[in-house]
Structure 1
Amino acid sequence: MTKFAVGDPVEWTTSNTRKIGEIVAVVPGGQKPAQVGFPKAGGGGLGRDHESYVVMGRKTDSRGAYYGSAAVYWPPVSTIKAYS
């Protein structure tokens, strides 16, 4: 699994929507985003059993253009890739 740090640019796809953003927090295993200062990033229920990341990102359309407002997300680590 790739490790990321605060400030790293990343991309991921969930719900058939590509998103591009920047890591804004590292969430230790067993914790949720609210415990590291991001209660609106999701994370109801239990924390994940591995390190994960909160990302400030925006959705992109099929041409790569941004749409919608920037938001905080807690994507599955397996979906996150470095963005350049």
Structure 2
Amino acid sequence: GGEIIPKIVGIVAELRPADSQPVKFITHCPECGTELVQAAGEANMYCPDELACPPQIVGKIEHFFARKAMDINAGEATAQLLYQ
């Protein structure tokens, strides 16, 4: 690995500014407040509340509209209106 896309093998702490702070990641969904989860071996954290998290519900409505599903000519605005 690392031939085309460089492989990160470590950090150079000496080059870090003295006043730098660690990155603080969010722990709860900014939309519904549910605690985020992280699958084993994965970097991404996600909201597990598929049934009550508004953006997830709107996304599912948009997916339903999609060409590979029902092929309905509608977009995010229509999905938002249906959700509300």
After TM superposition, the score normalised by the length of structure 2 is 0.19
Greater length-normalized contact order (CA 8 Å, ≥ 6 residues apart): 1
Structure number having the greater strand percentage: 1
After TM superposition, the score normalised by the length of structure 1 is 0.19
